[in-house]
Every structure is written in C-alpha cells, then in structure tokens.
C-alpha cells in the first residue's frame, strides 16, 4: 500500500492507520472504455510542439505540485522549491479508476486557474529529453481530449526565476468538476480506492512530503483533517475504532 512514510513535523490528523482502513484490493481492469486515449503519433506531435515552444536555454525544468513530488518516476539532476503564479492546487479532477472505481469515484488534484502554488521543480537530463517527455505525457495526458494541458510557466526560486513545464487543468476536459464543497471532497477522498491505492493515501503522501520540504498548504491541511474525521466516522459505523 505504500504507507510507510516519515511523518511530517506537524502532527497530521490523517495517519497511516487511517489510510490502511480505506485500502482494499481492487482488480486492475485496464483503461476505462468510456474514454479515448492518445496514439503514438499524437504523443510525438505533442512532444514536438512542446520542444518547439520551449524557452531558450539548455536547461529543462519540470514543476511538480502533487504526486510528481513524491513519485516522479523519472531521472532528474537537481530539485528546488519553487512557486508559480496563476494556478493553485485543487481536487477538481473526477476519477473512476486508478485510485477509484465507477462504483466509488474519487478525485485527483490538479493545477486549476487562479492564485499561486508552491511546489518543486526538477531539472531533467537534456540528453534524454524526448524519452522523459513521453513518459510524462503518458502519465499526465493519457486521455483524449486531455484533462491536463502542458504549459510553460515561470517558476520563482531562491536562485531566481526559471522557465518550467507544468501540467495544468483543462477546464474543458471530460473529468473537470470545478470546486466542490470541501465536505463533499472529503467524503470522496475518504472512501475511494482503486487498483493503485486510495485517494486518502494520495492526500496523505502529498501533505506529508510538502510539510517535510517546509511547504504548508493550508487548504490541504484542513482537508486532511476532514478526511481523517470522515474515515473515523465511517469505520465507527462499521463497528471499529480508530
């Protein structure tokens, strides 16, 4: 389940025990047939377009705000804490698989328009750029039309501003749900689980790793408290005790 993480300095309400209560084995049934997916030719066209619009310079930075921070699945040469403006973290992406099921849908976090976001930038290996981009696009932009869009943004760091690639929410995408009431969001995150894990685990990992890097997201902090309370309430109804 991947819940053996070092806890943040602040005492989170959401714990590994809460995450374990939500976990259940879910069979991987493959890609959801209600969606269309990018072809190899379309991925290559996306890569060519991104590289053509790439800001000048020999460095390539990727901005991460959520799971890319704690599960980058790519090689990188350097990382820095960075802030981008014009986008904020939001559980606005509806999900029926991966960390959810059609019977118990969940939510994934994305960068939605407005505000600002503090996260991490990774410097990627310039000599392996196309392969790295293909891996990222398959992870972040699998569906067609895509729920995410790849955009070049300016990341502010202690060493100065740098151009970075970010994956931001496509409000015209098929899974965009906008800003739901926080209580509804917490219920979905507390209950959804798919073949790669639960939404509660995703939130737990994200908040933990942000805190370890000195990034305190007040919205996510309040949300993890609500999710912990919802899991405890659900489990109590089943006759358990947390």
Predicted local confidence at residue 128, as pLDDT: 84
Overall number of domains in the chain: 1
Predicted local confidence at residue 144, as pLDDT: 87
The answer as to whether 7 is a domain residue is: no
pLDDT, the chain, mean:
92
Domain of residue 198, CATH code: 3.10.490.10
The answer as to whether 147 is a domain residue is: yes
Those residues with Cβ within 8 angstroms of residue 11's Cβ, 6 or more apart along the chain or in another chain: none
Cα 237 to Cα 53: distance, rounded to the nearest angstrom: 54
Q: What proportions of the chain, in percent to the nearest 5, are helix, strand and coil?
A: 35, 30, 35
The answer as to whether 73 is a domain residue is: yes
The answer as to whether 55 is a domain residue is: yes
Q: In percent, how much of the chain has pLDDT > 70? A: 93
User: What would the pLDDT profile of 145-155 be if each residue is shown by its tens digit?
Assistant: 899 999 999 99
The answer as to whether 4 is a domain residue is: no
The answer as to whether 219 is a domain residue is: yes
Span 105-110, average pLDDT? 97
Residue 55: domain span? 16-237
The answer as to whether 8 is a domain residue is: no
| DSSP SS3 for 59 | coil
Whether residue 145 is preceded by a cis peptide bond, meaning omega within 30 degrees of 0, is yes
User: What would the pLDDT profile of 75-92 be if each residue is shown by its tens digit?
Assistant: 899 999 999 999 999 999
Q: Does position 3 have pLDDT exceeding 70, yes or no?
A: no
Predicted local confidence at residue 21, as pLDDT: 96
What pTM was computed for the model?
Answer: 0.90
Predicted local confidence at residue 33, as pLDDT: 85
Span 46-67, average pLDDT? 90
Q: Does position 8 have pLDDT exceeding 50, yes or no?
A: no
Span 192-206, average pLDDT? 97
DSSP 127: G
The answer as to whether 242 is a domain residue is: no
Predicted confidence band of residue 240 (pLDDT cuts 50, 70, 90): low
User: What would the pLDDT profile of 133-185 be if each residue is shown by its tens digit?
Assistant: 999 999 999 888 899 999 999 999 999 999 999 999 999 999 999 999 999 99
């Amino acid at each position: 389940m991947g819940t053996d993480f070092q806890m943040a300095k602040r005492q989170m309400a959401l714990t590994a025990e809460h995450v374990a209560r939500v976990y259940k084995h879910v069979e991987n049934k493959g890609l959801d047939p209600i969606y269309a997916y990018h072809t190899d030719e379309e991925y290559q066209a996306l890569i060519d377009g991104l590289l053509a619009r790439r800001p000048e310079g020999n460095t390539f930075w990727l901005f991460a705000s959520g799971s890319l921070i704690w599960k980058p699945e790519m090689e990188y040469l350097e990382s820095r804490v960075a802030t981008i403006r014009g986008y904020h973290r939001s559980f606005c992406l509806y999900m029926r698989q991966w960390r959810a099921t059609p019977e118990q849908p969940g939510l994934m976090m994305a960068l939605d328009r407005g505000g600002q976001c503090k996260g991490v930038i990774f410097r990627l290996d310039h000599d392996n750029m196309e392969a790295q981009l293909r891996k990222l696009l398959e992870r972040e932009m699998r569906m067609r039309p895509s729920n995410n869009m790849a955009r070049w943004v300016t990341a502010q760091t202690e060493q100065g501003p740098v151009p970075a690639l970010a994956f931001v929410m496509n409000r015209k995408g098929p899974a965009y749900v906008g800003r739901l009431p926080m209580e509804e969001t917490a219920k979905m995150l507390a209950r959804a689980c798919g073949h790669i894990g639960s939404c509660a685990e995703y939130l737990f990992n994200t908040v933990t790793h942000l805190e370890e890097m000195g990034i305190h997201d007040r919205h996510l902090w309040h949300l993890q408290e609500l999710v912990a309370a919802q899991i405890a309430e659900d489990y109590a109804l089943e006759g358990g005790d947390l």
